[in-house]
Amino acid sequence: MPLWILVSDFFHDLRYQKTRVFLTTFAIIWGTIAIVLMMAFGRGFKNRMISAMTNAGNQIIRIYGGQTSMKYQGLPEGRWINFTEEDAHVLMQSIPQIREVSPSYGRWGVRLKNDTRTATTYLEGVYPNFEMLRTMYPKQGGRFLNELDMEDKRRVLFLGSEITKELFGDEYPIGKSVNLDGVPFTLVGVMQKKLQLGMSNGPDDRRAIIPFSTFESIYHHRHLRMITVQPNKLTDTQFVKDEIFRVLGRKLRFNPEDNEALHTWDFVSNIKEMNNVFVGIEIFLGVIGGLTLLVAGVGVANIMYVVVKERTREIGIKIAVGARPQHIIVQFVLEALLIAVLGGFIGIGISWAIIKFVEMIPVQNQGIAFLGKPQLSQTIMFVTTFILGTIGVLAGVFPARRAAKLDPVESLRYE
């Protein structure tokens, strides 16, 4: 039987069974919207969380000194391990798999003052490459610290956006003077606003940054707060961590197997773990949406059973004039498939419109920004299309097999 005749029969039935077809199609539309939006919002939330984790560190390993838990070379356990700038340079020279190293000082309770406004924060003295390692990118018109700042021990300051707002309000801050513990500094840059996970000593939005050499000359600290390392490749991360224990263990005289001697914060592993968690969440949301769509498919199957019953005489006539069982099966499968595809197409269209509308909403609230923007990916489209196709076929094949087995004589007698 030609395809156009089957399609024509479908739309003929559609005119006479408008309410039934509408309700069935609406169930498919609702199920499609459920699965598409849940997976799209799940994907958007996942990407937002990974982005927030990346904002705290660009594929880096943070290294902090700890306290030994093993005796080593005649030295007792319980010794504190502290770093100097030289230790950072030794790591860079000894481990080829390291791309960047940045030692940093830290100091709590630093007081910033601008005229009558004051703020207290955590201060870090860093190398210029800290900008890239910690994704502390400046707003337009400002800059981060540079090599000349380091060489000349300049009194220049880089601030987070939130603490800048406290000190200057709506005033343009770049180039203005800020007293830092009574010492005048020039503000050269303000960090772009960013969502951040994995904080260290508070959010970066409230951080104050000065050159490493300037910090050293003012505060005369002997030991670093931490060392930040970036491996050449993501696959080098575990090897680099093992080498850090080996190299520093040899230099600072602690057992490389002593996990308490150093504390590391591995952003690469954290992001991998977070990605695995969100893959599981996406699968869960997809299953929930798929079950919703499956319920709609049961409705399609029930409708098709009713259609078979109502068209018993018609089926009997077709069989009597020579229609083969496969023709009857194809007819009902196609009708069920068309209902599923029509509902799915409308549902995807509505979902797409909702997603685009959400994308246009300006994000002012931090909580809403935390959720991220929904993303309609090719994977979501493929999964939805596959489920719709499966539902259409299954919803039609069982009623169709029943129709194909009808006895033409009994069918013609059916009232």
**Boundary of a domain, candidates 236, 264, 292:** 264
- Same domain, yes or no: 22 and 150: no
Enclosing domain of residue 101: 61-264
What is the DSSP-derived secondary structure letter of residue 96?
T
Judged by phi (left if over 0) then psi (alpha if -120 to 50, else beta), residue 175 lies in: left
Q: Determine the Cα–Cα distance for residues 215 and 112; give it in Å rounded to an integer.
A: 15
- Same domain, yes or no: 7 and 86: no
- Same domain, yes or no: 7 and 107: no
Residues 6+ away with beta carbon under 8 Å from 277: none
- Same domain, yes or no: 49 and 90: no
**Among candidates 270, 206, 228, which has minimal Cα distance to 131?**
228
295-350 pLDDT per residue, tens: 777 777 777 666 666 666 666 666 666 666 666 667 777 777 777 788 888 888 88
The DSSP bridge pattern shows strands 226-231 and 61-65 to be antiparallel
- Same domain, yes or no: 77 and 47: no
48-96 pLDDT per residue, tens: 777 766 666 778 899 999 999 999 888 899 999 999 999 999 999 999 9
What Rg do the C-alpha atoms of the chain give, in angstroms?
A: 33
- Same domain, yes or no: 159 and 79: yes
- Amino acid at the residue 115: D
- Same domain, yes or no: 115 and 72: yes
Residue recorded with tokens 């156009």: 4
- Same domain, yes or no: 195 and 152: yes
Q: Determine the Cα–Cα distance for residues 68 and 3; give it in Å rounded to an integer.
A: 78
- Same domain, yes or no: 30 and 90: no
Ordered per-residue pLDDT tens for the chain, 415 residues: 455 565 666 566 656 666 767 777 787 888 788 888 888 888 887 777 777 666 667 788 999 999 999 998 888 999 999 999 999 999 999 999 999 999 999 999 999 999 889 999 999 999 999 999 988 999 988 999 999 999 999 999 999 999 999 999 889 999 999 999 999 999 999 999 887 766 667 788 899 999 999 999 999 998 999 999 999 988 888 899 999 999 999 999 999 999 999 999 887 777 777 777 777 877 787 777 777 777 777 777 777 666 666 666 666 666 666 666 666 667 777 777 777 788 888 888 888 888 888 877 766 555 556 666 777 777 777 777 777 777 777 777 766 666 666 555 554 554 4
Number of domains in the chain: 2
Torsion of CA 206, 210, 216, 219, to 10 degrees: -50
- Same domain, yes or no: 230 and 184: yes
